[in-house]
């Protein structure tokens, strides 16, 4: 038996579908659009879409708002600032910034699943200002320095 403690996500909601895991092995909770009527996201545009709930992320964790792979593949719709970070001390309504990179306008209907929420542990660090950093094989090599697949 594992003694792993499962963190609790406290949720304040209106009449909207609560975030939910859609399979036993899912990492993310699906987030639904809490809108009274359809929203159109024109090609190349972005919209802030409400979810209808606020929550309290446990201290030591963050909420990561991530795209849904099916929306990205089928429609080119994704979370613009992915992953969006929800801090443990934020108590406002969770809203999702969606962008339409697809070829057609995209319509969101009330209750549509629009993104997913992954709750992940975070660590706070202490800052130590030094004159030099330890050497590594990679060094200061940045973008593409370890090779590009293709």
pLDDT digits (tens, 9 = 90+) for 94-144: 999 999 999 999 999 999 999 999 999 999 999 999 999 999 888 887 777
Q: Is residue 147 in a domain?
A: no
Q: Is residue 145 in a domain?
A: no
Alpha-carbon gap, residue 102 to 88, rounded angstroms: 33
Q: How much is the pLDDT for 81? A: 94
Q: Is residue 150 in a domain?
A: no
Collect all residues with Cβ–Cβ distance below 8 Å to 112 and sequence separation of at least 6: 32, 33
The closest of 114, 36, 113, 123 to 88, measured between CA atoms, is: 123
Q: Which helix (H) or strand (E) holds 26?
A: none
- Looking at the structure of the chain, the number of domains it has is 1
Residue 55 has pLDDT above 80, yes or no: yes
Q: How much is the pLDDT for 102? A: 97
Q: Is residue 87 in a domain?
A: yes
For residue range 17-48, what is the model confidence (pLDDT) as tens digits? 889 999 999 999 999 999 999 999 999 999 99
Q: Give me the CATH number covering residue 39.
A: 2.70.40.10
Q: Which helix (H) or strand (E) holds 119?
A: strand 113-121
Least-confidence region, from 3-12, 50-59, 127-136: 3-12
Burial class (CB in 10 A: 0-12, 13-18, 19+), 94: buried
Q: Is residue 114 in a domain?
A: yes
| Length, in residues, of the chain | 150
Alpha-carbon gap, residue 72 to 137, rounded angstroms: 36
Note if the bond before 83 is cis, omega within 30 degrees. yes
Section 49-67 average pLDDT: 95
State the CB neighbour count (10 A cutoff) for residue 90: 15
Q: Is residue 144 in a domain?
A: no
Q: Is residue 3 in a domain?
A: no
Q: Which domain holds residue 80?
A: 28-121
Residue 2 has pLDDT above 60, yes or no: no
Q: Is residue 130 in a domain?
A: no
């Amino acid at each position: 038996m594992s003694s792993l403690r499962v963190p609790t996500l406290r949720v304040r909601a209106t009449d909207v579908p609560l975030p939910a895991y859609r399979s036993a092995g899912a990492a993310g909770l699906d987030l639904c659009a809490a809108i009274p009527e359809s929203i159109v996201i024109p090609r190349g545009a972005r919209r802030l879409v409400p979810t209808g709930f606020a929550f309290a992320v446990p201290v030591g964790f963050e909420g990561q708002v991530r795209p849904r792979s099916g929306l990205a593949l089928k429609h080119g719709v994704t979370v613009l600032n992915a992953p969006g970070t929800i801090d443990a001390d934020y108590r406002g309504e969770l809203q999702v910034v969606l962008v339409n990179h697809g070829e057609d306008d995209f319509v969101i209907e009330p209750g549509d699943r629009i993104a997913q929420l992954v709750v992940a542990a975070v660590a706070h660090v202490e800052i130590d200002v030094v004159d030099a950093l330890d050497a590594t094989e990679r060094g200061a090599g940045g973008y593409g320095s370890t090779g590009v697949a293709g």
